[in-house]
Structure 1
Amino acid sequence: MQLSRRSLLKATAVSGAAITLSGGLSATASPSKAAAAPANNYANGTGDWLVGLGLADITGAPAGQGMMGFAQEDQIAHGIRQRYLARAVIFVDKNTNAPLVHVTVDTCAFFANEMDELLSRLQKTYGGRYSKKNVIVTATHNHNSCGGTSRDLAYVLAAKGHQENSFRCEVDGVLEAIARAHKNIAPAQLYLGRSELYNASKNRSISAFNLNPEHDKREMPGGIDPRVWVLRIKRGTKDVGVMTWFATHGTSLTDNNTLVSPDNKGLAAYIWEHDEMGVDYMTTKDPFVAAFIQTNSGDMTPNLWLRKLHPSGPTSDNVLNNAIIAKRQYDACHKAWANAVPLRGSGIATSHRYVDFAHEVVPGKYTVDGKQWRTVPTVMGASGAASSEEDNYESVVYPYIREGNKSPLTKFWDWDRKNQLLDADWDYQSPKLNFLPLGYLPVKGWNPQELPLTIFRLGELVFVCGALEYTIVSGLRCRRLVSKRLGVPMENVIFQGYTNSYCQYCVTPEEYMAMQYEAGECQFGRETLGAHLKHYDAMCDELLGRGKPYKSTTNRAYKANMWIPSWLPAVPADTLPKGKKYGDVLLPPPATVKRGAKLDVDFQATHLNNKLYRGSTYHEVQKLVGGKWVRIADDFHYDTILDWRRPDGSKTESITRVTWNVPKNQPTGTYRIVLRGDAKNESGKLTHWQGKTKSFKVV
């Protein structure tokens, strides 16, 4: 993900060093005795594990607000391609009753303030059963989600501040997904499958990758991580869910997209849930859940042609590319799912802590040169400001600043670090051309300086989790260390980034020297990875019962920036052109529509943000069945698009277009399009309305 470059370029005041944040040890193998147990009776059914599954809509404001991922001020949402979801899976150890909550959110990131709000509300509902010790929320890094959900200034500038409406939708939806999973905990069996996928990712920084040692590069054929892991979840003979891990970025739709939507992983989940398993996202209480989860995808792009500032591949159509990359992931994961074998081992164990990455001393045993290093407060490099040129159509600093730009003072900073004359922070950022000192800006840094790390074990599997975007070799080195320390085969250690918070990238020290985009955004300095290895090593000690308690308090750093408002103008009261009413059909459908055709229908409408309809839908495609109108498509469906706009010259009128790309296999019959919304008057009162087209035939 890119920071808000255009807005950050306007930043001026630079002040003292970033605050030292707080954290806490979280190593657990069993819940508190006072923890509330699920209401379910576990005695019913059979299975080696207890598992609950749930999903929920987390789509935020779809009109007139900035999107999250590319951090471009002009990428303003104006509709919905598809709603995006949270997918929760709760595992419970039958022997100890210890739970583990794993949630996959189809957003760019799940920020510290969102995590804190979630944990606070879980505490109120479930007591100490679900806490920071055993709740994992990981993002697919979808670059088409709603912006403004963070409380860190760097991540809300492009969205014009914190947007409470989208923030609430995401947290409420995650809480709802967990609640649904909690209610259906039941005996289940777990199966582990593996496969490989070679045509859904490319290394967008191959020059940096090539600086790694040969023994690392041999693990990554062609500069990619092809590994696919699948956890198949069954209750008796019934499949109820699947969790998959594979590394590729959520940037298929690119920065040209202005429709809120999943990217390739969310679409892959939709293919499995909806197309294969028949999930209706608006009515199914206990649906099949398919979570497509990120691993170490920091340098992995789905735009396979690697064209600079023209992201494309395997075709020149980004929407088609999204579908192709999604289907390739689905196919590879389905292959692993079909060949899955029973998961061996039992039990759940976790180790969790917050680490002050701005002030870590890294011993020589974890550094590339064998000497002591330290990390420093966050700084965006010039090459980070240049953006990932393979995934963006626009770079606001191109061609003046490019990937690969390095500091002209590199030799001096390296000399100073070696000789300890100044021991300046810049010594540890070299060869970065320091561009924006985010960790030094008031108030107490513009992005997180303290981040959570987690290792959890589920039977024979071990998951190593971090909050950054990790290149494939940085993830490999973390897996290798944990594998060795815990005595677990490498193939059973899965790395998972984008977890429980977010603050840019982690690259290997060798990759750092190339100063590609990822290194420019490796903001804590050259030995960011070494700091991770140091703590993962200590966390392995905890899991082995040998570690000393890690002394830190809970993460509250983001509250220093709770003052951040929204400076987006309020949505004005809705108005109508003379002679019109809300719901009027402005562009009607023809009498007949052929299968495979595209149908556009325009309605006189209101601002979509008046009511967000989370868990519901603005529009429906309905079919006449037995004299009754039956919903067959809605906001969640891939075949329809909701496109909102202001007509020329108006700041208060709205037109919403519903597009239906009629499937080639759509049953013939009588159909209509329905749109609903809510009109806001000057006092803020909402009045519901609904519009319907005349019926038409699909032939």
Structure 2
Amino acid sequence: MQCQSSRMCLLSLALAALVAGGCAPKRVAPEALALRAQGCEGRTDFQLGTGIHDITGPAAQVMMMGYVKPGQNTAGIHQRLRSRAFVIASPCNGKRVAFVSADLGMLFQAVKQEVMRKLRERYGEDVYTDANVVLSATHTHAGPGGYSHHALYNHTFLGIPFIGFVPQNFHAIADGIFQSIVRAHDNLAPGRLLLSTGELPGTSGNRSAGAYALNPQPERARYPGDVDTAMTLLRLEASASAEPGPMTPVGMLNWFAVHATSMSNRNKLISGDNKGYASYLFEKHQDTDYGSPRAFVAAFAQSNEGDVTPNVYGGKEGRGEGELAATVEAGRRQFELALRLFEDTAGARPLTGGVDFRHTYVKMDAVKVAPEWADGQERGTCKAALGISMLAGAEDGRGVGREGVRCGDPLAGFFCGVDNDPCQAEKPVVLKPGAECPIMSPNVLPLQIARLGNLALVAVPFEMTTMAGRRLRETVRERLAPAGVEHVVIAGLSNAYSGYLTTRQEYAKQDYEGASTHFGPWQLAAVQQESAKLAEALASGAEVPEGPKPKSPRGRVKEIRLSHTYDEVPRGDPRFGDLTFGSVVSGRDVGAAYPRCGTARVTFWGGHPRNDLHTQRSYLEVQRRGEDGTWRPVAYDWDWETKYHWKGYPCPPRGACSQVTVEWDIPEDTRPGTYRIRHDGEWRPRTEDRSRPYTGWSREFSVTESIADRCPPGAAPSPVRASFTWVP
């Protein structure tokens, strides 16, 4: 349907309003419910395991995944990115689910395929499958890109879009996710799951309130606001071994809908953004040891955040005093609610029942939507296409142009009149990734429901808006409630990625989210229809078709190979003196003393960070001298108070030089004493393929009793510092 007149548009919206909002006929599950047949009804015993692993990619010269801003290339690390895995099994039926929350912008289909390949190699064909593994991204916009096999998402180098796959980043991500699942698998032990819910108002806002307001008024009246403020949290307790025994907390997993865009499109340091910071705070509080194969894991997973911004703190961009302060505030608020829910075991409810799951692949550009799911007529989805308003970006990171451009507007006349797809209705199409050969964005996509007792996770490969998520939750809840499911959570950005998912009414507005809904105005109806089939099968114990298996375009992926081949330091120039890798740049050592809340800073001659990603390690240490004269680390490159900056440039006589600057924002509760900063890296000789390690130190400096007038964001007194054990 193409929007050719305002009358037609109003009529179509009116028709859609009559049936939208998950109002298709309810289907009651059969009386012989699946869990009862499996002997799982009322059971509270599970097997639980948690695992965490580093997935930080190249910290230099890779375009960041998220804002698609030319020139926003990685140039250091503020936080390391991590994969947090939870394996949950039910002894009553022998089934298990692995859920992973990864500090990534998106979880691309290529990553899921590679992780599954590794799991099959290790455990065989039946232990972990597409159906019982959920991989979900937190949606940070501050990580390196280039890890998809679909060209639309590989805008990775010098701001030039669509050309760059970065194998080093892809393998760092896939290997790290795999290792986190292996750790969780190895840590399986008898345990229980406690579920809590709480409200977190004032931490998020709807960035497309005008589009949300187009949803039917009776539907909007059912909800207190235009964003979901609920946090759903699981506390995982398990015994210390594979045998039953006293239980202790081993993990925390929650879902809360908010974009991880507190950091702006000017940032060039790798960061987990507000959700990564919240996980970091929680894991510090639990004394997580990031190097240990058995460690407490705290995941702040993503939900239906499509139209939800974290930037509600005033100022031009909503970031208040700046992006770092905004990240701290949004992360702190999520952390504090999660901790309160986690510690309130008296107010929590044990999950009862077993584990089960259903999964199918759907060719999303060819779904026939039945009348009861649409506007009373049979509808269908479209070949993937992007609208002109997509170029404008959202409020968290503006692009070119403006939002809300629709067919019928003068600005859209050219696009709607020349080569538009009538199936896309109001959308003025500027790019057709689904029509290219090979396709630039996946069209065969996974839909999945995982049941953990009376909690159901609905995993979708989209960024769902608030109301779209509400409709899908209701669709699934209606079909699973007779089987004992009481809570339904959307796990967004899971298993693959193909843009946004709005309601039909929001789509008509053609804000950024509607313009980025790939498969047309009836995409949500199609997802509801297909998810209903999964839910009905899950409730009754029936099987579902596997669906068409997605093909990987890996053989046609274009790789980016940087020109960097070897490292140099300035030589033969008396201005620089006798330099080696790890030498401090002249005049750029730390000062003699700093107050608490001050910033110590030192710059080294170093190597390119792509020589070695330092996975499960650190490029830096802040060390304190003990009374016995030994130096002990107190901070690493993943700690919020440190920053690792990289800068490269040509240098004499004909090489490429790197300068590495380490900053330490000294926390307010730091013990006075003598400190130094250590930098570890690798440099690559011109005549050798392998890199060589080097180490540099700043001079010693003092941290005094005094406190500076103003503390940097995150340098205020903090919970227990996270520990670390070096593991070869």
Query: So what's the TM-score if we normalise by structure 2?
Result: 0.84
Letter in 1 for 2:358: S
Please report the RMSD computed on the Cα atoms of aligned residues, expressed in angstroms.
2.3
Deviation at 1:687, TM superposition (A): 1.4
**Corresponding residue of 1:364:** 371
Letter in 2 for 1:284: S
Q: Deviations over 1:470-504 (max 9, x none)?
A: 00111111111111112268861111110101010
Q: Deviations over 1:118-138 (max 9, x none)?
A: 001100001120111211100
**Corresponding residue of 1:642:** 644
Deviation at 1:256, TM superposition (A): 0.9
Letter in 2 for 1:91: I
Deviation at 1:341, TM superposition (A): 1.9
Q: Deviations over 1:617-676 (max 9, x none)?
A: 111111122322111111111110000102576760011000000001101122111111
Letter in 1 for 2:232: W
Tell me if structure 2 keeps the 8 A contact 1:29–1:98.
no
Q: Deviations over 1:559-618 (max 9, x none)?
A: 235322224433231111123110111222222222110111111111111111111111
- Tell me the SS of whatever aligns to 1:64: strand
Tell me if structure 2 keeps the 8 A contact 1:139–1:498.
yes
**Corresponding residue of 1:514:** 509
Superposed, 1:561-580 pairs within 5 Å as 561-578=554-571, 579-580=578-579
Does 1:671 pair with 2:662?
Answer: no
Tell me if structure 2 keeps the 8 A contact 1:63–1:644.
yes
Tell me if structure 2 keeps the 8 A contact 1:192–1:343.
yes
**Corresponding residue of 2:16:** none
Specify whether residues 323 and 234 from structure 1 end up closer, same or farther in structure 2 by C-alpha distance, changes over 3 A only: same
Letter in 2 for 1:287: A
**Corresponding residue of 1:270:** 280
Tell me if structure 1 keeps the 8 A contact 2:44–2:353.
no
Letter in 2 for 1:291: A
- Tell me the SS of whatever aligns to 2:287: coil
**Corresponding residue of 2:228:** 225
Specify whether residues 120 and 448 from structure 1 end up closer, same or farther in structure 2 by C-alpha distance, changes over 3 A only: same
Tell me if structure 2 keeps the 8 A contact 1:539–1:547.
no
Deviation at 1:92, TM superposition (A): 0.9
- Tell me the SS of whatever aligns to 1:200: coil
- Tell me the SS of whatever aligns to 1:208: helix
Tell which deviates more after alignment, 330-339 or 373-382.
330-339
Superposed, 1:208-607 pairs within 5 Å as 208-235=211-238, 236-274=246-284, 276-281=285-290, 283-304=291-312, 310-313=316-319, 315-339=320-344, 340-367=347-374, 369-388=375-394, 390-392=395-397, 394-395=398-399, 397-398=400-401, 402-408=402-408, 426-443=421-438, 445-487=439-481, 492-545=487-540, 549-550=544-545, 552-556=547-551, 559-578=552-571, 579-586=578-585, 587-607=588-608
Q: Deviations over 1:56-111 (max 9, x none)?
A: 00000001111111122310110000101000000010122211100100101111
| C-alpha separation in 1, matches of 2:620 and 2:313 | 36
Match for residue 630 of structure 2 among 609, 621, 628: 628
Superposed, 1:105-120 pairs within 5 Å as 105-120=102-117
Superposed, 1:35-114 pairs within 5 Å as 48-114=45-111
Letter in 1 for 2:641: D
Specify whether residues 216 and 338 from structure 1 end up closer, same or farther in structure 2 by C-alpha distance, changes over 3 A only: farther
Q: Deviations over 1:520-576 (max 9, x none)?
A: 0001000000110110111122113375742524222xx235322224433231111
Q: Deviations over 1:163-201 (max 9, x none)?
A: 000111101111111111111111112111010111111
- Tell me the SS of whatever aligns to 2:94: coil
Does 1:140 pair with 2:138?
Answer: yes
| C-alpha separation in 2, matches of 1:294 and 1:250 | 9
Q: Which residues of structure 1 form unaligned runs of 5+?
A: 1-27, 31-45, 417-423
- Tell me the SS of whatever aligns to 1:538: helix
| C-alpha separation in 2, matches of 1:53 and 1:352 | 23
Deviation at 1:305, TM superposition (A): 5.5
Tell me if structure 1 keeps the 8 A contact 2:420–2:429.
no
| C-alpha separation in 2, matches of 1:633 and 1:452 | 41
| C-alpha separation in 1, matches of 2:216 and 2:542 | 31
- Tell me the SS of whatever aligns to 1:544: helix
Tell which deviates more after alignment, 645-654 or 137-146.
645-654
| C-alpha separation in 2, matches of 1:305 and 1:663 | 24
| C-alpha separation in 2, matches of 1:351 and 1:478 | 16
**Corresponding residue of 1:149:** 147
Specify whether residues 573 and 301 from structure 1 end up closer, same or farther in structure 2 by C-alpha distance, changes over 3 A only: same
Deviation at 1:306, TM superposition (A): 7.9
| C-alpha separation in 2, matches of 1:551 and 1:664 | 55
Letter in 2 for 1:405: V
| C-alpha separation in 1, matches of 2:332 and 2:499 | 28
Letter in 1 for 2:694: W
**Corresponding residue of 2:712:** none
| C-alpha separation in 2, matches of 1:361 and 1:562 | 31
| C-alpha separation in 1, matches of 2:463 and 2:382 | 18
Tell me if structure 2 keeps the 8 A contact 1:312–1:318.
no
- Tell me the SS of whatever aligns to 2:434: helix
Does 1:165 pair with 2:168?
Answer: yes
| C-alpha separation in 2, matches of 1:507 and 1:47 | 37
Does 1:653 pair with 2:632?
Answer: no
Tell me if structure 1 keeps the 8 A contact 2:388–2:515.
yes
Letter in 2 for 1:686: S
Letter in 1 for 2:120: Q
Tell me if structure 1 keeps the 8 A contact 2:192–2:237.
yes
Tell me if structure 1 keeps the 8 A contact 2:360–2:546.
no
Letter in 1 for 2:408: P
Percent identical pairs in the alignment equals 30
Tell me if structure 1 keeps the 8 A contact 2:570–2:651.
no
Tell me if structure 2 keeps the 8 A contact 1:144–1:262.
yes
Deviation at 1:428, TM superposition (A): 2.3
- Tell me the SS of whatever aligns to 2:330: helix
